[in-house]
Amino acid sequence: MSDSILPYIAGFLDGDGCIMLQLVYRHDYIFGYQIRASIVFYQKSNHKDFLEWLKGYLKYGYIRDRKDNISEYTIVGHKDVESVLKLLQLHLRLKKEQARLALEIIQDLRAIKKLTPEILLQMSKKVDQFGKLNYSKKRKNTSVKVEEYLKAKELLSP
Q: Specify the pTM.
A: 0.93
- Domain range annotation of the chain: 5-152
Q: Can you say how many angstroms the Cα of residue 46 is from the centroid of all Cα atoms in its chain?
A: 26
Q: Cα dihedral angle (4, 74, 62, 13), rounded to 10 degrees?
A: -20
Under a CB-based contact definition with an 8 Å cutoff, are residues 5 and 111 in contact? no
Per-residue pLDDT tens digits for 66-83: 999 999 999 999 999 999
Report pLDDT for 139.
Answer: 86
CA distances from 142 to 55, 114, 123, 152 (A): 31, 22, 11, 15
Per-residue pLDDT tens digits for 9-41: 999 999 999 999 999 999 999 999 999 999 999
Under a CB-based contact definition with an 8 Å cutoff, are residues 98 and 133 in contact? yes
Report pLDDT for 63.
Answer: 98
Report pLDDT for 135.
Answer: 73
pLDDT for residue 124 is more than 80: yes
What fold, for 5-152? Endonuclease I-creI (3.10.28)
Report pLDDT for 137.
Answer: 73
Report DSSP state, residue 76. Answer: E
Report how far residue 96's alpha carbon sits from residue 49's, in angstroms, rounded to the nearest whole number: 27
Positions marked active-site: 15-16
